[in-house]
A and B are shown apart, each in its own frame.
Chain A
Amino acid sequence: MSADTGTQTTNRLEDIAAGKEVAAVIHEKVLEAEPALQIQDFNLWYGLKQALHSITMPIPRGEVTALVGPSGCGKSTLLRSVNRMNDLIDGLTIRGDIRLGDDSIFAPGVDVIELRKRMGMVFQKPNPFPMSIFENVVYPLRIDGQRDKKVLKEVAEQSLRGAALWEEVRERMGESGLGLSGGQQQRLCIARAIASDPEVLLLDEPCSALDPLATGKIEDLITDLRGDYTVLIVTHNMQQAARISDYTAFMYLGRLIEFGVTSQIFTKPYLKETEDYVTGRFG
């Protein structure tokens, strides 16, 4: 897979735009890590338009993996395929497989609801529910039918501590979640996402709607979460990817171009196209 490193003469991106098949470059270190998620030759079509082209990438367990790439390259689609949020979209066709641990998430018998409980997801825009802060956090437990007040309180505190929000809201758990600031709301969403104790945390540009201060807090939080959760984050911000992720994947027009350890991707990537992109010369 890494056979043709550095020997590429023509521009891959132009090839891709021209419709040629180009193999992805995946660093050995990635392959050595223990994967939590395995994306295997995954293709996805919106109607007749193909949005993802045979993507194969292992997501290392307990690490932060960043997906970068220009707009429309399929990062979010890939992320939403992982917890099958794309099921909601009509006229969607997929081929290939994504495996969580040993199970295929597309196997016929898979319960999508159970699957989603194993993966927390945080969206671009903070979307707290119109309920109290407490109810927001314990929502995943509520829908499981958990009624024990003690358990709920415990989980709420743990999750809010995990999301570094506990100290700020402990005195007003009964107030509306919509009354929090943008950054707090996003951390509330993260608390909600980790309340059901998921294996994988999917973050879809979690900081794009936030100011730098709030972004800093979220980034600190993601760094703290590393180890406990496998984090898959989509971001447009190269600095952010460099700061918080262990691995970075560069995607372009629905294809994975290069996937490697973050430090390497940002300092000496195998491909010139990646270097151009991460340094801002392209895209």
Chain B
Amino acid sequence: MKPTTPSKPVTSSKPARAARSGQRKSMQSGFSLLARGEPQIWFTGGMLVICIAMIVGLLGLIVASGLPTFWPTQLDVLVLNDGSLETGQPQSTRLGKPPADGSSEPTQTTNAAISDRLSYYYRTANNDLTGQHYRWLDATQLAASGIATPSDALVIERLEWGRLYGFPLDLNRQLSPPAEAEAALRDIDQVIAAIDTVPADAAVEATTAAGEALANVRAQLSERKQDLLDIALRGELAKATSPDARVRTVGSEEWQAPSAVPADTQLEAARQYWTEPALVLQELQQAVIATTEAREELKQAMLAISRLDAQISRQQAAVRRAEMDAEQTAARRVEDSQALLEQVVQLQTTASMLQQAAEQLPTLLGSGAEVATAVAAIHAYRTQRLPEQSAELERQLEEWLEPIRQQPPAIVQAVLESQTRFREIALAKLPLQREVAQIQRALEAVEITFAVPTGGSPLDELEPTDLIELMNGSFSENLQQRLADRGITVTPGASQTTAIEVVELNQHLKLVTFRDQTQHKHLVAVTRGDYIANPDAEAWRVLLLPEKVHSARDLVRIVPANQLGLSGKLSVYFSRWGEFLWDDPREAGTEGGVFPAIWGTVVMTLIMTIAVVPFGVMAALYLREYTRPGPLVSLLRISINNLAGVPSIVYGVFGFSFFCYTIGAFIDGGPKNADLLALPPTIWYVYLGITAICGTGAFLLSFLASGPSHTQTGSKRWMSRLALVLWLLSLAALAWLILKSPFFDGFYREYLPNPTFGKGGLLWAALTLSLLTLPVVIVATEEALAAVPNSLREGSLACGASKWQTIRRIILPQARPGILTGAILAMARGAGEVAPLMLVGALPLAPDLPLDTEFPFFHGSRSFMHLGYQIFTLGFQSQNSEASKPMVFTCTLLLITIIAMLNISAIYLRARLRRRFRGSQF
């Protein structure tokens, strides 16, 4: 920074230069913070840091609260001071207020005082027993060191009532016989079922001998079935007791009657069961996994049935529609006929069953005289009584059809066709229904009993001696009496069967299991509540723990929370995430998955983007490329920008009243249904003519007025304005005429008064949101268009391209990244919007996806679930907002992730487009 001295001094400029260099020197030597802009750098940088900190903080909070939701935590059994029990998974700890009595000195800050003031937050679950999900427990409420983490304790996730915490007591499994036996058994079952359909009077009517023969045959079959079962079961048990499959012996295994399995086997199993918890768990989990698969099958079968039902309702709608066309409302008729038809189908099935039974009987029971009589009776019933009944039903159907036969042939055709379809569908439904029943039976075959260490009813008036006796493996008279009061009978002598086991968890808690007379297992807990506080007091208590029986179909997952290693925890964690992402919601969304909500969010956002981008781009193109700037355009632009600031609920109200109640109702049932008075046909035609003339005039005028601006004379300018007005008028008139058409009765009138499109749905929600995000797209696109250099437009026009060619080939490709930016912004705004969705179609629970195998495959009229709305309902609308709090955070995390993923894919697309012609740039 050496001041430059002129090589050739010029006298006249010397003083000035000297002055300047002097000035520069002074600037160098002085140090001015402001001049260097340092405080501004710090200030602006500081603001940036604050912004980043807020964003990171927000994301951090959501991630930190959302991610651990599914992490399996330990399961504690707590002994309270009053000797009662509580079970829970610890959630958090807080420092409570100092004791309110004020007796403690304020300066006391010892560790003991602080630990006394701690409150523990526990997820206590067992909602069906206690009515709560979470509980705060003060340190003073807890017996000191009265917390145990028993390794047997299980966290059981259920389909209903949320989680259950408990100890496994019994597993009752109805064994399923081997496959070959199963087939034979099924045959027998079918024949018995067929015989059962023969009414007693029909048999008696034939001959008494025939009736007796039938009854005897039935008894023989039942016997045979029992034999087969026994054989099958023995085979099964033989296999089960072999050492390599020891796991299968766990639990008491019964077939129908508990006495079917010898007691000693049961006991052996029971002993093993309690002493080897790992085996118990394995067995339980296998049962749950098996039922999960069965549940999936059940779901499929139910789905198939509901699909058939949907077909039936469509047939009904077709008939109703045909009748509506004939201006005869006889919707009830359809239902009557359906009932009749179902009876006909039932008769047909019975007949075929009887025929099968008649064929199978001799092979099952040999060809005795009795069998022959029974077969004859069956045959008689099948060939005489059944056809009579069938004919009667057919006659009723004919009667029902009679008035319809007077109608035009098209309607008769429709009704007859739908009748045929009814028969087919009803026939197809029967095996499915049988399958459903079978699966349901299989699902209920496994029953698990849990003891729930919560509360518990104390067995009062016990003496310490009773306790000592209990610990020694026998029951005192007193204790027997107390148990008998609660309906549990124990046989004191048979210590083998009562089999008392004592597990000492800590000095405050012992668990004692025993079996009653009927071999059912029970659990009592011996607690010592304020043992430390009052060492002299005999504050022990004996609690009979409540029991809960669940068939395996109610259970989702059994987690041995206190036995899990890291890998076990991870597998539970990811399995819960998988359930969350892919399953339907349960328990009003507080449990289960959010897959329908994810689907709804993504699809709605995509439809919205597809709808909004073309409109926004067209509008922006017109504003930027075609209009001449003027007050009107400025006004338009200001209005568009203002639209971006309108509260979203306003759009919701608009979408609700316009899309659902006007357009939707119009689609459903024509102008009448949408409360728009249809015009009389003649007047409608007159208006149509006027509109046509208007449109033609607009076309001619705009054709005449076309040409470059500077050749336009005054009259041409007026002509073009008039043409624009006429265009608008004729378009509005056309829309009005469509809405007022007397010739349109709607596409879904046969379903009325149930609305199809005339209510909130996916399509309307997407369109409402696309209105909401339209300004974003328009503004972004306008900016992108403005950024296209004018030289490109000129270059293209100079090549002889028309305006549209220039736009399509040069301007739009150049502006595409900017337009995509607009689409990304719109997507981000739309995906996060909740308020309008509440009005136009999002529901807290709508597990049916708007996509299925029914034509037209995508049902835009159906309601849907949305993650944002899910968060709202979970957080603020659910019965127990405390219980759903973790899910709120998890859903938030998921929503953010989904929006981020949508945006990232759009940004990636944009980057690819940008690279396309920039690649070779140096």
CA distance A179 to B802 in the complex (A): 27
CA distance A179 to B917 in the complex (A): 9
A86 CB–B CB distance under 8 Å: yes
A120 CB–B CB distance under 8 Å: yes
**A189 lies within 8 A of B795 (CB):** yes
**A129 lies within 8 A of B795 (CB):** yes
A33 CB–B CB distance under 8 Å: no
CA distance A125 to B791 in the complex (A): 8
**B917 lies within 8 A of A131 (CB):** yes
**A88 lies within 8 A of B797 (CB):** yes
In the complex formed, the residue of A with least CB distance to B801 is A143
**B789 lies within 8 A of A113 (CB):** no
CA distance A105 to B465 in the complex (A): 123
**A86 lies within 8 A of B917 (CB):** no
B299 nearest CB across to chain A (Å): 54
CA distance A192 to B797 in the complex (A): 12
Supposing A87-B708, A93-B710 touch, asked if A130 and B791 sit within 8 A by C-beta, the answer is no
Q: Which of B800, B801, B810 gathers the greatest number of chain A CB atoms within 10 Å?
A: B800
For B918, list chain A residues within 8 Å (CB).
176, 178
For B809, list chain A residues within 8 Å (CB).
129, 139, 142-143
Supposing A176-B917, A179-B920 touch, asked if A127 and B789 sit within 8 A by C-beta, the answer is yes
For B814, list chain A residues within 8 Å (CB).
130
Supposing A129-B792, A179-B921 touch, asked if A92 and B798 sit within 8 A by C-beta, the answer is no
**B800 lies within 8 A of A85 (CB):** no
Supposing A176-B921, A179-B921 touch, asked if A106 and B791 sit within 8 A by C-beta, the answer is no
**A116 lies within 8 A of B919 (CB):** no
CA distance A98 to B707 in the complex (A): 18
Instruction: Give the size of the chain B interface in residues (CB under 8 angstroms).
Output: 29
B796 CB–A CB distance under 8 Å: yes
A112 nearest CB across to chain B (Å): 7
A83 CB–B CB distance under 8 Å: yes
**A90 lies within 8 A of B792 (CB):** no
Q: Which of A90, A112, A129, A142 gathers the greatest number of chain B CB atoms within 10 Å?
A: A129
B464 CB–A CB distance under 8 Å: no
* In-complex Cβ contact of A116 among B789, B792, B799 (8 A): B799
B107 CB–A CB distance under 8 Å: no
CA distance A85 to B810 in the complex (A): 17
Supposing A112-B708, A123-B791, A179-B922 touch, asked if A129 and B802 sit within 8 A by C-beta, the answer is no
For B799, list chain A residues within 8 Å (CB).
116-117, 120, 139-140, 143, 192-193, 196
**A129 lies within 8 A of B810 (CB):** yes
Q: When A and B form their complex, what is the total count of cross-chain residue pairs whose Cβ atoms lie within 8 Å?
A: 100
A208 nearest CB across to chain B (Å): 13
B805 CB–A CB distance under 8 Å: yes
B8 CB–A CB distance under 8 Å: no
In chain B, residues 698-717, which have Cβ atoms closer than 8 Å to a Cβ of chain A? 707-711
In the complex formed, the residue of B with least CB distance to A131 is B917
In the complex formed, the residue of A with least CB distance to B709 is A90
CA distance A128 to B791 in the complex (A): 9
In the complex formed, the residue of A with least CB distance to B921 is A179
Bitwise, A87-107 to B at CB < 8 A (1) or not (0) is 111111110000000000010
**A85 lies within 8 A of B797 (CB):** yes
**A140 lies within 8 A of B800 (CB):** yes
B22 CB–A CB distance under 8 Å: no
CA distance A198 to B532 in the complex (A): 107
Bitwise, A169-196 to B at CB < 8 A (1) or not (0) is 0001001101100000000010011001
Supposing A127-B795, A129-B810, A176-B917 touch, asked if A196 and B800 sit within 8 A by C-beta, the answer is yes
Q: Is the interface of A mostly helix, strand, loop or mixed?
A: mixed
In the complex formed, the residue of B with least CB distance to A126 is B791
CA distance A120 to B802 in the complex (A): 15
B628 CB–A CB distance under 8 Å: yes
A84 CB–B CB distance under 8 Å: yes
In the complex formed, the residue of B with least CB distance to A124 is B791
A114 CB–B CB distance under 8 Å: yes
A88 nearest CB across to chain B (Å): 7
CA distance A126 to B630 in the complex (A): 32
B578 CB–A CB distance under 8 Å: no
Instruction: Give the size of the chain A interface in residues (CB under 8 angstroms).
Output: 45
Supposing A114-B800, A127-B794, A127-B795 touch, asked if A86 and B710 sit within 8 A by C-beta, the answer is yes
For B917, list chain A residues within 8 Å (CB).
130-132, 176, 178
B813 CB–A CB distance under 8 Å: yes
CA distance A192 to B799 in the complex (A): 8
* In-complex Cβ contact of A175 among B709, B800, B920 (8 A): B920
A129 nearest CB across to chain B (Å): 6
For A207, list chain B residues within 8 Å (CB).
none
CA distance A90 to B628 in the complex (A): 8
**B800 lies within 8 A of A143 (CB):** yes
CA distance A139 to B802 in the complex (A): 12
A140 nearest CB across to chain B (Å): 5
**A87 lies within 8 A of B709 (CB):** yes
CA distance A192 to B789 in the complex (A): 18
In chain B, residues 848-906, which have Cβ atoms closer than 8 Å to a Cβ of chain A? none
A169 nearest CB across to chain B (Å): 11
**A113 lies within 8 A of B792 (CB):** no
For B795, list chain A residues within 8 Å (CB).
123, 127-129, 189, 192
* In-complex Cβ contact of A121 among B628, B707, B798, B922 (8 A): B798
In chain B, residues 797-825, which have Cβ atoms closer than 8 Å to a Cβ of chain A? 797-802, 805, 809-810, 813-814
Q: Which of B789, B791, B794, B799 gathers the greatest number of chain A CB atoms within 10 Å?
A: B799
In chain A, residues 45-100, which have Cβ atoms closer than 8 Å to a Cβ of chain B? 83-94
CA distance A108 to B706 in the complex (A): 11
**B708 lies within 8 A of A84 (CB):** yes
Supposing A176-B920, A178-B918 touch, asked if A85 and B710 sit within 8 A by C-beta, the answer is no
In the complex formed, the residue of A with least CB distance to B711 is A106
Q: Which of B801, B805, B921 gathers the greatest number of chain A CB atoms within 10 Å?
A: B801
CA distance A175 to B919 in the complex (A): 8
B807 nearest CB across to chain A (Å): 12
A144 nearest CB across to chain B (Å): 8
* In-complex Cβ contact of B802 among A90, A91, A113 (8 A): A113
CA distance A179 to B921 in the complex (A): 4
CA distance A117 to B580 in the complex (A): 64
CA distance A236 to B711 in the complex (A): 31
**B920 lies within 8 A of A85 (CB):** no
B355 nearest CB across to chain A (Å): 71
For A85, list chain B residues within 8 Å (CB).
794, 797-798
A205 nearest CB across to chain B (Å): 13
* In-complex Cβ contact of B805 among A89, A143, A179 (8 A): A143
For B709, list chain A residues within 8 Å (CB).
87, 90-92
For B805, list chain A residues within 8 Å (CB).
143
For B800, list chain A residues within 8 Å (CB).
113-114, 116-117, 140, 143-144, 196
In chain B, residues 558-579, which have Cβ atoms closer than 8 Å to a Cβ of chain A? none
* In-complex Cβ contact of B801 among A88, A92, A113, A128 (8 A): A113
B800 nearest CB across to chain A (Å): 4
A145 nearest CB across to chain B (Å): 10
In the complex formed, the residue of A with least CB distance to B791 is A127
Q: Which of B794, B796, B798, B813 gathers the greatest number of chain A CB atoms within 10 Å?
A: B798
For B710, list chain A residues within 8 Å (CB).
86-87, 89, 91-94
Question: Can you list 8 A-B pairs, Cβ within 8 angstroms, ordered by A?
Answer: A85-B797, A93-B710, A113-B802, A116-B799, A130-B810, A143-B800, A178-B921, A192-B795
Given A143-B800, A176-B919, A179-B921, 18 extra CB contacts under 8 A: A83-B798, A86-B710, A87-B710, A89-B710, A90-B628, A93-B710, A116-B800, A119-B798, A121-B798, A128-B795, A129-B810, A130-B810, A130-B917, A140-B800, A143-B805, A144-B800, A193-B799, A196-B799
**B contact residues vs A (CB 8 Å cutoff):** 628, 707-711, 789, 791-792, 794-802, 805, 809-810, 813-814, 917-922
6 closest cross-chain pairs (CB), A and B: A117-B800, A179-B920, A121-B798, A127-B791, A87-B708, A92-B710
**A contact residues vs B (CB 8 Å cutoff):** 83-94, 106, 108, 112-114, 116-117, 119-121, 123, 125, 127-132, 139-140, 142-144, 172, 175-176, 178-179, 189, 192-193, 196, 202
